[in-house]
Chains A and B, each alone.
Chain A
């Protein structure tokens, strides 16, 4: 997950961009030759040169690297920017890299803007850990502080908001069976979406919490007694759809939806609620993701998707969304305490569960 995008303090310094930066960090040393060897095997090119390798901040669940590659194909010189997502030593989420790759690959061909996916590599001899490689989209921003406050993007914020809603509706309209996404495991029926997600995230709290979690446990019990109405339709749920997880250009176009690692099949209201969570309300309480008012979000989504937004269901999914985020933070905290990661961000996340508990209690009305 793009934690640099979640936390405004982590925004890149002026002149730097999360995507398309030309900064060469020392941490990219030694990677060039190994990436070049991999590309050579995949491109069937004589020589491949790799340069400008640098690690992109954030990516708490998977390391994200950018690089440029150059090779000849049919006598033509080709130069392209890539993003490489490599499994970390430890993560905030133990997610399946195949899942993210396959989902992005599948939806890309059906009108959902995502970077083009190139290769998924499980063989650890190339870069020590599994990884996948995708297209780098230059000249865009993901950082909420840029997208919401930079004058270039501020003037097109309404357009970004409209695209934000339209794309979510388009994701929910996808015929996931036809796209071969059955492998995600559909819920047994429309009634079971809520319970399936409660069980998933409660199990993560069980597994990852290093100390008792009365609020999260009570919230799970509260949720079990207030299951939402059956999903109007079982859809592909992005499950991390929010400002900070899309690439946006200065014309207000969303050119890439990112971070599909939690995607699954379920209730569309889950995505609606997640987009509305307080942690993503950088521009004040009234604005969903800093982009548009909640009522406007609901109306536009209903018009574009043909689905009704049920406010009680959204409240259920908001409580669960905060529990889920807390579970993710607990996972990061545990990785840090057990020495499986040296990333200080993991420790910081683990220490920030309190505000999510507060939000959970507010939403529960206790």
Chain B
């Protein structure tokens, strides 16, 4: 269908900036429209790849959780909390992936995986530097690499201002 969702968002953004904004008298309204325009920028930027990104993230989280489960299980000392965490990992990974690319379905799966990843990462952070926990270091690093990729994604109002130099570095790192 044309205009596509992305084209429509860009069109609304342009209309806000070029048609609506010049008509507004109050500073408050002008700022509200500028914020809406930024929101359109953010949405338009992720429109095309939203499903693909979520699907990739879900696969990556699944792999990382699998690695984390194996690493935690292989630890010489176990305890109830770690055993429960391994059970949670196994349980979420055992769920059959939904046969749908709807954002709501992918998003729900993503939330479940991320919730377990949250608990795993706290456990990994707790284990850093403790004797006998070295097996977890590689997983911890892999998890942070993934989270960095996700954190860099998309558009932010800071990218052209206070995060400008950081984003230049991130792009250079991505190239190398």
Bound CA span A193–B105, Å: 43
Residues of B contacting A222 with CB < 8 Å? 125
Which of B5-13, B47-55, B74-82, B111-119 is the contact stretch? B111-119
Q: How far is the CA of A344 from the CA of B39 in the complex (A)?
A: 8
CA distance A345 to B42 in the complex (A): 12
Q: A215-B151, A347-B39, A358-B148 are in contact. Are A26 and B162 (CB under 8 A)?
A: no
Expressed in whole angstroms, the minimum distance between the Cβ of B56 and any Cβ of chain A is 16
Q: Is the CB of B31 within 8 A of A10?
A: yes
- Counting contact residues on chain A (CB < 8 A from B), the size range is 35 or more
* Also in contact, A344 and B32, with CB within 8 A (given A26-B25, A357-B147): yes
**Assembly CA distance A65 to B15 (angstroms):** 28
Query: Is A9 interfacial (CB 8 A cutoff)?
Result: yes
**Contacts A278-B163, A355-B151, A357-B151 known; A12 to B27 CB distance under 8 Å?**
yes
**B26 contacts A by Cβ under 8 Å:** yes
Q: A residues 328-366 with Cβ under 8 Å of B? A: 343-345, 347-348, 351-352, 354-355, 357-359, 361-362, 366
1/0 per residue, CB under 8 A from B, across A275-305: the answer is 0001111101100000000000000000000
Q: Is the CB of B38 within 8 A of A348?
A: yes
Whether A43 is near chain B, meaning CB under 8 Å from some CB there, is no
CB of B30 within 8 Å of the partner chain: yes
A57 touches B144 (CB 8 A): no
Q: Which residue of A lies closest to B170 (CB)?
A: A358
- A348 and B154 form a contact (CB under 8 A): no
- Dominant SS at the B interface? helix
- The answer, yes or no, to whether A54 is at the interface (CB within 8 Å) is yes
- A361 cross-chain contacts in B, Cβ below 8 A: 144, 147-148, 151
Inter-chain CA distance A64–B162, complex, in Å, is 25
B28–A54 CB distance below 8 A: yes
For residue B60, CB closer than 8 A to chain A, the reply is no
A80 touches B (CB below 8 Å)? no
- Report the separation of the CA atoms of residues A311 and B115 in the bound assembly, to the nearest whole angstrom: 34
A214's contact among B121, B128, B152, B157, by CB below 8 Å, is which?
Answer: B121
Chain A residue with Cβ nearest B115: A212
Instruction: Give Cα distance in the complex from A343 to B35, angstroms.
Output: 9
B141 partner residues in chain A, CB cutoff 8 A: 366
Q: In the bound complex, how far is the Cα of B99 from the Cα of A88, in angstroms?
A: 43
Is B156's CB within 8 Å of the partner chain A? yes
Complex CA gap A23/B27 in Å reads 7
Contact B166 A358 (CB under 8 A): yes
Query: 5 A-B pairs, CB-CB below 8 angstroms?
Result: A57-B31, A211-B111, A225-B125, A343-B32, A344-B36
Q: What is the interface of chain A, defined by CB distance below 8 A to chain B? A: 4, 7-10, 12-13, 16, 21, 23-27, 54-58, 211-215, 217-218, 221-222, 225, 278-282, 284-285, 343-345, 347-348, 351-352, 354-355, 357-359, 361-362, 366
Q: Which 8 A-B pairs have the closest CB atoms?
A: A25-B26, A57-B31, A358-B151, A212-B114, A55-B28, A212-B118, A214-B118, A221-B125
